[in-house]
Structure 1
Amino acid sequence: MKSALAIAAFALCLGSSAGAAWAQAPRDEPSKDAGSGSDAAMAQSLFEDGRRLMTSGDHAAACAKFEESNRLDPSAGTLLNLGKCYEALGRVASAWASYERAKVVGRAKGQTRHVEAAERFAAEIEPHVPKLAITTAREVPGLKVYRGETEIAAAARATPIALDPGSYEVRAEAPGHESWNRTVQIERDAKVTVEVPALVALAASPPKPPPPKPPPSSQPRMELVIAGAVVGGVGLVGLAVGAGLGAATLSDADEARQDDDLCPDDRCTEAGWAHIQEAETKATASTALVVTGSVLVAGGVALGVLGFVLEAPPSDVAVLPWLSPGVVGVVIEGRL
Structure 2
Amino acid sequence: MKLSATLLSLALVAGVASANNKDKADALFKQGKKLMSEKRYADACEAFEKSNKLDPGIGTQLNIAKCYEEWGKIGRAFLAYQEAEAMAKAAKDSREPKIHELVEGLDSQAPRLTIKLPKDTSTNGLTVTLDGDKVTKFGEPFVIDPGPHTIEYSISGGAKKDRVVPVERGGDSEVTLDIPKGGKPDVIAVVRHDVKADTKPDTKQEVQPPPPGRNMRLGGIVIGGAGVIAIGVSSIMTLSARGKYNDALDAHCGGMKTTCDDEGLTLTHDARSTANTATVIFIAGTAAVAGGVLLYLFAPHGDAAESEEKSARYIVPAVSPDGAGVVFGGNF
- TM-score category (smaller protein): 0.3 to 0.5
Q: Calculate the TM-score normalised by the size of structure 2.
A: 0.46
Q: Calculate the TM-score normalised by the size of structure 1.
A: 0.46
